[in-house]
Every structure is written in structure tokens, then in C-alpha cells.
């Protein structure tokens, strides 16, 4: 692989994790230069490998973009930790590593001797990072779910929706897209701390507690004022209009919407000129924010009559040119066509040996001197066995042959697994 000037060159990481959170943590490290070895097994594959979207709609362990997208720049090995010699290989990797990431349900790694006590015993300065939905301690620590469930438990579901209707989820497993970054931040601090002090450490994450940071104003509002935040559609406490309005669509099968947010009287006046309703500027019903909030429903209906005649992109430009905040409600297709997203090089295509050429999301930040860099797509299961066993663990061909024959190194699934669709 290419080795540019990257922040984490030389850092070594072992990952024992699946699904959304753990793999995204180490992906961030790998894309900035760390060497990450991912321990997998054909006998218990990462469920994401069997989730859509698949190449040509056909499932297979190496055919899912979901299985690939969180694993750029990583090395995948396939070993069976339930066989006697499996954990021994993992422990050799621990001796090599700076960071061990345990993303299994609490208690799972103990039977393999890969819990933090056992690992710290063989490698005292290791940085052990454990992540689970509800943390390692506490009465409900055994809870083993998915991010879409944790979204509901973290309170986000209950504040998404219309006041008169049921709560809603976003399509994504929301907390899986908060928790990883908190762990990356802690790990980077820990790596520097270790360089300065020689001390490793144990970092444990409750994904719930990480996610609740994003709810903190509402938590304080309840603790202080006793207010239980509920659903309020797109309404804003002190801005109006503030909402999403229907637009003209060129295709009958797609809907187009534009988001508009007016905060000040000055923006309101500019808005009125854009939609050619100068009379509203002086209209006592709408001139001030009090009037606009009071008559918000009527105002929204009137605005929708204007927006539905025009395409969303045109409305965005007209508003932006007048200094009013507005944006398209972008579909995935829109995101691929967004000139700003292109400018930021967000979708980075790589040639995956099974899936073919497909895109990988870039980090949201650009580092001016040590940019992230990718060249290796998410690996096929066990793709890097030879490299890792020979180059990192110094095994001989005979050693490898022995592990293959014994089935410690896995090469295929015991039984076909049905795909899941999320």
C-alpha cells in the first residue's frame, strides 16, 4: 500500500469487532496511516457482509458494499477463535499491536483470553478499547442490539416526527454514527499519552452514553425545568418560516423539496422580495417574528404555493443570492451530483475485486499536511491471511499449512447464511 506522510504511520491496531461502530473506529485510524488487522472468521462472519446492497443483487460474503465500506485500508484475516489455536494467533497479534479494539458484546472475549485483564497481562502497555451498546458494567450491560435500537433508547426517535403522529427513526442506525468518533478521539489522546508516559490504558465505551452527549440540552431541560422534549416536525423555536417546502420535479417518480430558514427581519424582507411578495414585508401578520410564529401555518401554505412551481435547485440559488439560508433536500442521487460534495472529493471510488468500482465516503475534515489517503478497498474475508501471517507474524509456509489443515485458518462457511436486508 501507498505510504504517504500520514498522522498515524507506524501505529498498529488489532480489531475484533463487527457491525457499525467498531469497524468505523479502526477505519478512521487506517485511512490516516495506521496498520489495522481485522480478525474475522468464515464461521461467524460480520453480519454486515450479508447485508445489502450486493453486487448485482446477489448475496455473498464478499459481495456487499455494506461489508466493505467500513474497512478501507485494513487487512482481513480469517481464523476461528473457538478452536484451541485460534486465540494463540490473536495473542501474537496483541503482542505486535499498540491498540486492541474489542467490539464484541461484553463478556464474549473472555472465553478466548482476549478480555482486557488477559491482554494487559501479556502486553502491559496495550491500549485496550472496548465498545458496546450499554457499556461493560451495570445491570443491562448484556444488552446486545443494533444501532437502530439504540437510537430509540437514546431518545432521538421520540423527538423525530410530527406532534400528532408516532415517533420515527431516521433510516440509519443513528447512534452508530455518533459513537465511533468519540472512541477515535479518546484513542488518539491515549496514543499520545502513552508516548509521553509509557502507560497503556483501558477505554470502555457505552455507545448510549456517547450518544446522549448529542441530547444534552434536552436532558438539562428535563432535569431543570421538568420538560419532556417531544416531536415538533420542522418547527424552530424562534425562526419562521423554518421548514421544508414542495418543489417542481422533472420526474414524476421523484419528489423535490427545499429547506428554507428565515431568522431575522432582514432575511424576511429579502425572502419576500425573492418570492415577489413585497406586500408581506409590511403586512402586520408577518412583519415581525411574533406575527410569523403566530401565523406560521398560514405562512407555510402560502410559501408552498410559490415553491411548488419551481425546481428545488433554482429556489436554493435564488434564496442564497438574496442572503437567505436555503438548501435542497438532497437524495443520495443528488449528493453524487452536488458540486460541493464533488469539490470535497467525498465519494472516493476504488476497484473492489468482487464488487467492482464503487465509492467510499471521505472523512468530514481535511488535514492540510497529513491528509487521509486510501488505495485498498474493504477486503474480502481473509484476503490478507498470507501477508499478515508471513510479514507480521513471521509464520512459515508449514505453519500456515498446518493451521489450514486444522481449520484454524478458515476458508469457507460451514453452512450457507441467508442474507439480511436492513
Question: Can you tell me which of 13, 16, 23, 28 binds other proteins, judged by CB under 8 A?
Answer: 28
- Minimum CB separation from other proteins for residue 129, in Å? 8
When the beta carbons of 400 and 419 are compared against other proteins, the nearer one is: 419
Distance in angstroms (rounded) separating the CA atoms of residues 159 and 169: 9
Closest CA to 128 of 155, 98, 157: 98
Question: Can you tell me which of 92, 118, 160, 295 binds other proteins, judged by CB under 8 A?
Answer: 160
Neighbours of 166 (CB within 10 A): 10
Tell me: does residue 144 bind other proteins (CB under 8 A): yes
When the beta carbons of 65 and 409 are compared against other proteins, the nearer one is: 65
User: How crowded is the C-beta side of 333, counted as CA atoms within 13 Å?
Assistant: 3
Question: Can you tell me which of 281, 325, 350, 413 binds other proteins, judged by CB under 8 A?
Answer: 325
CB 206 within 8 A of CB 149: no
Tell me: does residue 368 bind other proteins (CB under 8 A): yes
Restricting to residues 255-284, name those near other proteins by CB under 8 A.
Answer: 255, 257, 259, 261, 263
When the beta carbons of 227 and 248 are compared against other proteins, the nearer one is: 227
- Minimum CB separation from other proteins for residue 387, in Å? 25
Tell me: does residue 53 bind other proteins (CB under 8 A): yes
Tell me: does residue 95 bind other proteins (CB under 8 A): no
- Minimum CB separation from other proteins for residue 210, in Å? 5
Long-range Cβ contacts of 402-408 (<8 Å, 24+ apart) = 403/79, 403/85, 403/89, 406/83, 406/85, 407/80, 407/83, 408/79, 408/80, 408/83, 408/85, 408/86, 408/89
* Stretch of 72-80, 132-140, 281-289, 406-414 contacting other proteins, by CB under 8 A: 132-140
- Minimum CB separation from other proteins for residue 246, in Å? 7
The site map against other proteins for 376-405 (x = CB under 8 A) is: ------------------------------
Closest CA to 412 of 421, 402, 420, 404: 404
Tell me: does residue 215 bind other proteins (CB under 8 A): yes
Question: Can you tell me which of 84, 139, 279, 398 binds other proteins, judged by CB under 8 A?
Answer: 139
| Residue-wise burial string across 49-67, b where 16 or more C-beta atoms lie within 10 A, e elsewhere | bbbeebbeeebbbbbbbbb
Distance in angstroms (rounded) separating the CA atoms of residues 67 and 346: 19
Neighbours of 188 (CB within 10 A): 16
Tell me: does residue 60 bind other proteins (CB under 8 A): no
**How many residues can be counted in the chain?**
422
- Minimum CB separation from other proteins for residue 389, in Å? 28
- Minimum CB separation from other proteins for residue 325, in Å? 4
To which H or E segment does residue 182 belong?
helix 179-197
Question: Can you tell me which of 75, 100, 112, 174 binds other proteins, judged by CB under 8 A?
Answer: 174
Tell me: does residue 61 bind other proteins (CB under 8 A): no
Tell me: does residue 150 bind other proteins (CB under 8 A): yes
Q: Are strands 356-361 and 347-352 parallel, antiparallel or unpaired?
A: antiparallel
Amino acid at each position: 500500500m501507498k505510504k504517504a506522510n500520514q498522522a498515524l504511520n507506524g501505529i498498529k491496531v488489532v480489531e475484533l469487532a463487527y457491525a457499525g461502530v467498531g469497524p468505523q473506529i479502526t477505519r478512521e485510524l487506517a485511512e490516516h496511516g495506521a496498520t489495522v488487522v481485522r480478525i474475522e472468521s468464515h464461521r461467524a462472519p460480520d453480519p454486515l457482509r450479508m447485508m445489502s446492497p450486493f453486487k448485482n443483487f446477489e448475496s455473498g460474503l464478499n459481495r456487499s458494499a455494506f461489508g466493505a465500506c467500513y474497512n478501507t485500508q485494513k487487512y482481513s484475516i480469517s481464523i476461528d477463535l473457538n478452536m484451541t489455536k485460534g486465540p494463540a494467533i490473536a495473542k501474537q497479534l496483541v503482542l505486535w499491536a499498540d491498540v486492541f479494539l474489542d467490539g464484541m458484546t461484553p463478556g464474549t472475549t473472555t472465553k478466548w483470553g482476549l478480555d482486557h485483564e488477559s491482554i494487559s497481562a501479556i502486553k502491559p502497555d496495550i491500549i485496550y478499547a472496548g465498545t458496546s451498546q450499554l457499556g461493560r458494567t451495570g445491570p443491562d450491560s448484556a444488552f446486545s442490539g443494533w444501532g437502530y435500537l439504540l437510537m430509540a433508547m437514546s431518545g432521538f426517535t421520540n423527538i423525530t416526527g410530527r406532534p400528532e403522529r408516532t415517533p420515527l427513526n431516521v433510516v440509519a442506525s443513528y447512534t452508530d454514527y455518533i459513537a465511533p468518533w468519540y472512541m477515535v478521539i479518546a484513542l488518539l489522546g491515549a496514543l499520545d499519552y502513552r508516548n509521553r508516559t509509557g502507560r497503556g490504558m483501558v477505554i470502555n465505551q457505552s455507545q448510549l452514553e456517547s450518544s446522549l452527549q448529542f441530547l444534552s440540552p434536552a436532558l438539562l431541560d428535563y432535569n431543570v425545568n421538568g420538560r419532556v422534549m417531544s416531536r415538533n416536525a420542522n418547527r424552530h423555536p424562534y425562526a419562521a418560516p423554518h421548514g421544508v417546502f414542495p418543489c417542481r420535479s422533472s420526474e414524476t417518480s421523484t419528489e423535490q423539496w427545499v429547506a428554507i430558514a428565515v431568522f431575522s427581519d432582514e432575511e424576511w424582507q429579502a425572502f419576500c422580495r425573492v418570492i415577489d411578495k413585497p406586500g408581506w414585508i409590511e403586512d402586520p401578520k408577518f412583519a415581525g417574528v411574533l406575527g410569523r410564529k403566530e401565523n406560521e401555518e398560514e405562512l407555510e401554505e402560502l410559501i408552498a404555493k410559490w415553491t411548488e412551481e419551481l425546481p428545488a435547485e433554482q429556489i436554493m440559488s435564488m434564496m442564497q443570492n438574496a442572503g437567505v439560508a436555503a438548501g435542497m433536500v438532497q437524495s443520495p442521487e443528488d449528493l453524487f451530483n452536488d458540486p460541493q460534495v464533488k469539490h470535497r472529493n467525498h465519494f472516493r471510488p476504488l476497484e473492489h475485486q468482487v464488487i467492482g468500482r464503487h465509492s467510499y465516503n471521505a472523512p468530514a475534515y481535511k488535514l492540510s499536511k497529513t491528509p487521509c489517503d486510501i488505495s485498498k478497498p474493504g477486503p474480502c474475508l481473509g484476503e490478507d491471511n498470507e501477508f499478515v501471517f508471513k510479514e507480521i507474524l513471521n509464520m512459515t509456509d508449514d505453519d500456515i499449512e498446518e493451521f489450514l489443515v486444522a481449520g484454524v485458518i478458515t476458508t469457507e462457511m460451514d453452512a450457507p447464511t441467508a442474507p439480511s436486508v436492513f
